[in-house]
Amino acid sequence: MKKINIIFVFLLGILLFSCSKDNSNETQNPPGDGSGTQQPQPEPEEPKAIDLSAYDNGNGVMMQAFYWDVEPRFEWWDNLAEKVPGWAEAGINRIWLPPASKGQSGGYSMGYDPSDYYDFGNYFQHETTETRFGSREELENLIQTAHNNDIEVIADIVINHNSGGGLEYNPYRGYETYTLFDEEHGNASGMFNRNYEDFYPNSVSQYDPGSLFYAETNLDHHREHVQDWLWKKDNSVAKYYKNVMGFDGWRFDYVLGYEPWVVKDWLDEVGGFSVAELWDGNANILANYVEETGSRVFDFAEFYRLEEGLDRNHDLNSFKGGALWKTYPEKAVTFTANHDTEKDPNQDNFISAENKMKAYAFILTHPGYPTIFYSDYENTSFQDEIKNLIKIHNSIATGSLEVLYVDDDEYVMKRNGTGTNPGLILYISISNSTKRRSVSSNWKNVTLMDYSDHSTYHPTSDENGAVTIEAPANGYTIWSITE
C-alpha cells in the first residue's frame, strides 16, 4: 500500500509541473515570439483624418488687405504683393484694397477723402506724388501679382462725397464751398472735373436724399455729368478701374449717402463682384437692399449677433436673431472685424480678442462669403488657426444647415454636406468648463474627430447617427468623419 501511495504522489507531481510550465509559457511568450521575453502590446490606432483638399467645394474667402492708418507709408502695395502668394495658398480668392486714388490728406490719406479718382500715385498734388500706399506702378504690380495667383482685386469706391477741391462761390448755398475740382484744384488728371452744379443742392436737385455726411460736397448722382464720369463713359471711373487698372469688382463705401439705384446702374453698366457697406444691424433692411441693387452686402446683422452673443450679452441665444445669410446666403458677405470696427472705441462695434476665433469659426462654417481682416490674419496668435478654418471652409463647410442645439452658453450646428462631401458639426461653448452633448449626425457607425485640433476625443456614432461630441471651455470644435 505504501509503495502505491508513493507512485501516486510521484505521478501527481509530474502532472502539476507540466501544467505550471504551460501557464508560464503562455504568460511570458506571446504567440509568434520565441524569445521568452515579454513584448509590448500594440496601441490602438488613432483615427486618420480625411484629406480636406479632396473635398474642394468651390468656396473662397476674401481678405480685407488693410487696416486704418496702415504703415509703413508709401510701401503698402509692395507689402501686399509679397503676401499674395501665401494668401492664395491659404485659400484666399479675393483681396479688398483701400481706396486707391489720391485723397485730400495726400501721403496720409486712407483714401476716404477722394479728390482725384484718376491719380493712383502718378500726379504731384496735395503735397505728394505717391499715395499713402505707394505709386501707380506698384499698384499695377500688385494687381498683376494677384491675378497671377488667381486672386481677384476689389476696389473700394467712395462716390458719396469728395474732398480737396478749390473754393468757389456757390449760389445755391449763398457762400463759398470747396466744390471746384480741376487741374489746379485737386484734380490734376483733368478727368471728371466738377463744380458746385455736381453737388447738392444745384439747379436740378434742391435737397440731398442721402446722409448729410460731408453735405457741401455730396455728389448728386442724378446729374448726367456725374453719371457719365462715374460709370457710363468709356473712360468713366468704373470702366477705367476695370479696363485700365485691372480691378475685378467693387466695395461700395457708405451707401447710406446715395440711393440704391446708383449701385444697380453701376453694376448693370460694368458688372463685376460687388459688396455694399450698408451699416445697419437690421437683416430686413439688408435684404431689401440686395433686392433693390442685386449687390452683395456686408452682413452687419450677423456681425452684431456675434458681438451680442459672445461679448455684450454673453448669451448664445443671440445667434437665433436675424442675419442676411439666413435669407440671402449667396449675397451675404460675413465678417468679424474691419478697419472701422477696430478703430471704433464703442465696445458694441467690435468683438474682443478672446472671442474673435469663435466668431471666425462661426462665419467660416456657416453660409455666406467670409472676409478675413488683415490685422487678425497677420496676428501670429491667430494666423495658424485662421488658416485651418479657411481650409475647413473651402472643403467640408457645405450643404444645408441645421441648428441642433442652442442655449445661453452652447451652440451646435450641422452642415449636411453634399454628395460624397461629409459636411461638419460646429460646437461653440462659452462655458467655463468642458461640455459634452449628444447630437444627431448624418454619420452611422463612424469614428469622428475634431478638425479644429481643440479636442483629442474620438467619439463613434451609433447605427442611427447619434454621437456625443465635446467643446473645450470657452472654445469650439468642428467635427467630421475619419477614414
Q: Where is 152: in which H helix or E strand?
A: strand 152-157
pLDDT of 17 > 90? The answer is: no
Of 157, 62, 179, give the one whose Cα is nearest residue 112: 157
Intervals of CATH 2.60.40.1180 along the chain? 403-481
31-45, 231-245, 433-447: least confidently modelled range: 31-45
Question: Cα 312–318–324 angle (5° rounding)?
Answer: 110
Q: What is the mean pLDDT of residues 201-218?
A: 84
Q: What is the mean pLDDT of residues 461-478?
A: 98
- For residue 95, what are the contacts with CB-CB under 8 A and spacing of at least 6? 62, 63, 65, 80, 84, 87, 146, 151, 152, 153, 154
Confidence of residue 479 (pLDDT cuts 50, 70, 90): very high
Q: How far is CA 408 from the centre of its chain?
A: 25
All cell numbers assigned to 346: 464703442
**The pLDDT of residue 347:** 79
Of the chain, the percentage scoring pLDDT greater than 70 comes to: 90
Beta strands in 303-360 (DSSP E): 332-334
Q: What is the mean pLDDT of residues 152-177?
A: 97
User: For the structural domain made of 403-481, what CATH number should be given?
Assistant: 2.60.40.1180
**The pLDDT of residue 209:** 73
**The pLDDT of residue 345:** 84
The answer to whether 228 is annotated as binding is yes
**The pLDDT of residue 253:** 98
pTM: 0.90
The answer to whether 311 is annotated as binding is no
**The pLDDT of residue 445:** 98
Per residue in 232-245, pLDDT tens? 999 999 999 999 99
Per residue in 326-381, pLDDT tens? 999 999 999 999 999 999 888 789 999 999 999 999 999 999 999 999 999 999 99
Which active-site residues does the annotation give?
253, 277
Of 359, 341, 353, give the one whose Cα is nearest residue 379: 353
Intervals of CATH 3.20.20.80 along the chain? 56-397
Q: Does the structural domain 56-397 have CATH classification 3.10.20.740?
A: no
Q: What is the rounded average pLDDT for all residues in the chain?
A: 92
Confidence of residue 40 (pLDDT cuts 50, 70, 90): low
Confidence of residue 115 (pLDDT cuts 50, 70, 90): very high
pLDDT of 427 > 50? The answer is: yes
Q: What is the mean pLDDT of residues 104-113?
A: 98
Confidence of residue 16 (pLDDT cuts 50, 70, 90): very low
Phi, psi of 197 (to 5 degrees): -70, -15
Per residue in 334-344, pLDDT tens? 999 999 999 98
pLDDT of 28 > 60? The answer is: no
The answer to whether 113 is annotated as binding is no
**The pLDDT of residue 44:** 63
Of 288, 290, 382, 404, give the one whose Cα is nearest residue 336: 382
Q: How far is CA 372 from CA 206, 247, 427, 460, in A?
A: 41, 19, 21, 34
